[in-house]
Amino acid sequence: MQHEIDIEVRYYETDGQGIVHHANYFKYFELARVKMLESVGLDYAELERQGILMVVHSISCRYMLPARFGDSLRLVTRVDRVTAARLDHSYFVYRGDSLLAEGKSTLACIDPAGEVQRIPECLLERH
Amino acid sequence: MQHEIDIEVRYYETDGQGIVHHANYFKYFELARVKMLESVGLDYAELERQGILMVVHSISCRYMLPARFGDSLRLVTRVDRVTAARLDHSYFVYRGDSLLAEGKSTLACIDPAGEVQRIPECLLERH
Amino acid sequence: MQHEIDIEVRYYETDGQGIVHHANYFKYFELARVKMLESVGLDYAELERQGILMVVHSISCRYMLPARFGDSLRLVTRVDRVTAARLDHSYFVYRGDSLLAEGKSTLACIDPAGEVQRIPECLLERH
Amino acid sequence: MQHEIDIEVRYYETDGQGIVHHANYFKYFELARVKMLESVGLDYAELERQGILMVVHSISCRYMLPARFGDSLRLVTRVDRVTAARLDHSYFVYRGDSLLAEGKSTLACIDPAGEVQRIPECLLERH
C-alpha cells in the first residue's frame, strides 16, 4: 500500500540556515500517515475518540538535500509491514525527481490508559 | 507581582531570516507564566490534573528588535490585573538593556469540559 | 482586498489540552499572508531573494472557541491599510459559521541588513 | 566524551495525547549538542558566523515511555565516533532512572554554499 501527498514548505518550518528544520520532516510524516488513513476511509481524530491511539515506537530519517521555503514537495508513504502489534512505514520526500529525504517508522497502538493493544481490525484490513 | 526568567534562544526557534520566529515569543510568554506560578508554589501540571485549565483569551506582541540564536534573553512578566474571571499579564523581553519585544495577554480559566469557571482562590490569592 | 484559505488542523498543532495551541494561529496567519501574495502573483520566497523581507511589527489574536485536530478551518484575511511603511491585516478563523478566533497584524519591510525600507511598489500596487 | 543536560518539558511541547510530541525529542537532541559544544568552549552561533554549519545527515529515536508536561528530564549525550567527515552521537533521555527514549545521529559539516567540508580542527580536537 502506498500513498502520496503534496507538501508546500511553510515559512515557519525553516530554521536559521534557511532550510526546513530536520525535526519538521517527522511532522510531515505524521501528516502523511493521517492522510493515508483518510484515503482508505479512516479518520484518525475519530479513532482517538474511540480510544485507539497510534504512538510512534521508533522513527528515523536520512537527509540528502535541503528543502527551502516555497518548495513544493511530494511525500510518498509506503506501508512496509503490518502485524497485530506494529505498523511499519517508509517515507520518501521528493522535489521534482530529487529525493531529498527518506524515513522509516514503526508505530504501535495504545489505549487511553497507555496500555499497548492489538492493532484494531479496521486498521489491519485497510493496510 | 512581577517575575523574571532567563531564556536562551534555541536554534530551532529561529526561522529563515535567522531570527526568532515571531510566533515563538508566545511560547516564551507561556513558559514565563508557568515559571511565575512555580515561584509562588503552584504547579500548573498539578492544576490541570485538578481540572483547572488556563486558556488564553487574547494575546498580543509588539516587536522592536530581533533576537538571534545564542542570545540570552531576560523575560520580565508582570501581573496587571486579577479578577474572578480574568488574569492580565504584561511581558517585556530584554537582551541586555535593549527591549526587544513587549506583550500582553488575558487568560481565563475553564474546566475540562471547556466551561468558563471562576479563577480559583489558590490562584487569586497568590497573584 | 480579501483572501481566503482552508486549513486542516494538523495533529502536532494541538497541545496537551487537545486543542490547537494559541501560538499556532500566528503560523496560520503567516501562511495566509503568503497565500494572499500568491493569489496576486507574488512569490514571497522570490521577494526575499530580491532582498525584500517582511517582518511582523505587531500582532494579536483573540480566541473565542477552540479548534481541534481534524477540524477544517476557513481563514479569511483582509488588508485593512497599506502605506509606504506598513501593511495592516485582519484575520478571521471560522469552522463552519462559528468564528473561532480573530487577529490583527502590522507588517513592515526591511532589507537583508535589517534596515526598514519603503514597502516596494510591487506590493503596494497589488494590495 | 559525554555530556548531560536537564530539560523541563514545556507545555507547548506536548500534543493532543498530552505527551511530548515525538518530533520534539529531535529538538532536545539539538539543544544537547549545542550545550555540549559550549561545555568544551565552542559557541555554535559563532561557528556559523565563521561559515561552519553542522547539518544532520541522519537521525533516529526509539521511544520507550512518554514524557509529560512538568517532567524533569535528564538527557545524556555521548559522542560515539568522530572522523574528518562525520560526528556520531547517541542520546539517552531519562526521567529519574527510567529510560524514556534513545536516539542516534550522524552530523556532517557544510559551508554556507551547502558544500560538504571537513569537520574543522577546533571541533575534532575537542570531541
Intra-chain end-to-end CA distance of chain B, in Å: 6
Task: Return phi, psi of residue C51, to 5°.
Answer: 90, 15
DSSP string, A26-64: HHHHHHHHHHHHHHTT--HHHHHHTT-EEEEEEEEEEES
Supply the residues of B annotated as catalytic: 15
Sequence-ordered list of residues with C-beta below 8 angstroms from that of C12, at least 6 positions apart, any chain: A27, A30, D15, D21, D23
CA distance C69 to chain A (A): 6
Does position B41 have pLDDT exceeding 90, yes or no? yes
Per the annotation, the verdict on A15 as an active-site residue is yes
Contact D11 C16 (CB under 8 A): yes
Mean pLDDT of chain B: 94
Using alpha carbons, select from D74, D71, D83, D122 the residue that is nearest to residue D102.
D74
Q: What is this structure's pTM?
A: 0.94
- pLDDT value, residue D99: 98
Share of chain B above pLDDT 70, in %: 100
CA distance C105 to A127: 45
- pLDDT value, residue B40: 93
pLDDT in tens, C77-105: 999 999 999 999 999 999 999 999 999 99
pLDDT in tens, B78-107: 999 999 999 999 999 999 999 999 999 999
Residues of A whose CB is below 8 A from B11? 15-16
Q: Model confidence at C72, in pLDDT bands (50, 70, 90)?
A: very high
Q: Indicate which CATH number applies to the domain containing C64.
A: 3.10.129.10
User: Across the strands, what pairs with D55?
Assistant: D108
Does position D3 have pLDDT exceeding 90, yes or no? yes
CA distance B125 to chain C (A): 25
Asked if A10 has any chain B CB less than 8 Å from its own CB, the reply is: no
> How distant, in Å, are the alpha carbons of A80, C94, D13, D101 from that of A59?
14, 35, 18, 11
Mean pLDDT of chain C: 94
pLDDT in tens, D50-72: 999 999 999 999 999 999 998 99
CA A51 to chain centroid: 20
> Of chain A residues 85-124, which have a CB less than 8 A from chain B?
none
User: Taking a C-beta distance cutoff of 8 angstroms, is the pair B80, B18 a contact?
Assistant: no
User: Taking a C-beta distance cutoff of 8 angstroms, is the pair A11, C54 a contact?
Assistant: no
Nearest Cβ partner for A17 among D27, D53, D61: D53
User: Across the strands, what pairs with C90?
Assistant: C78, C104
pLDDT in tens, D68-122: 998 999 999 999 999 999 999 999 999 999 999 999 999 999 998 889 999 988 8
Q: Touching B: which chains, 3+ CB pairs < 8 A?
A: A, C, D
CA distance A20 to D78: 26
Number of domain units in chain C = 1
CA distance C109 to C85: 7
Intra-chain end-to-end CA distance of chain D, in Å: 6
Residues of C whose CB is below 8 A from B48? 16-17
Q: Which residue of B has its CA nearest to A17?
A: B16
CA distance D126 to chain A (A): 24
Domain of residue A53 covers 2-124
| Mean pLDDT across C35-44 | 94
Mean pLDDT of chain D: 94
Which residues of chain A fall short of a pLDDT of 70? none
- pLDDT value, residue C119: 93
Does position B72 have pLDDT exceeding 90, yes or no? yes
> How distant, in Å, are the alpha carbons of A6, B114, C94 from that of C102?
28, 19, 9
